[in-house]
Amino acid sequence: MIIANKNEGEKIPYEQNGNKVCFDDDLTINLAKREEDEAVHIDICYDGDGALVVGAAAGRRYVAEIDMPAREYTETEEETEEGAPKHAGTLFRLIWTRLLLPSGLCERSS
């Protein structure tokens, strides 16, 4: 996890356990469930009652921002003779395999 402090002053306490981040022993977010094929931005705020909430719409004061990079894939190419159409005198067909790479990388800014 990369931490970037955006301002001076007291920071909210947090703990990271695997893919989960817990803020102030109150709000826990499972980052693995929020991972997508595109970059994800999550705002953590205090609402009007002082409770931690996810999202700026319900919040009154920012606590932290979590920026997660997009999922990364690796693609490999295989050749096969089985059921392949003729191409340039050979019986080969290309098969693309798309594998999801493990992430484990997220950034937290506060």
Residue pLDDT, tens place only, 37-94: 899 999 999 999 999 999 988 778 889 999 988 888 887 766 655 555 545 555 555 5
| CA gap 1, 46 in Å, rounded | 23
Higher pLDDT residue, 35 or 100? 35
| CA gap 49, 28 in Å, rounded | 18
| CA gap 49, 5 in Å, rounded | 25
pTM over 0.75: no
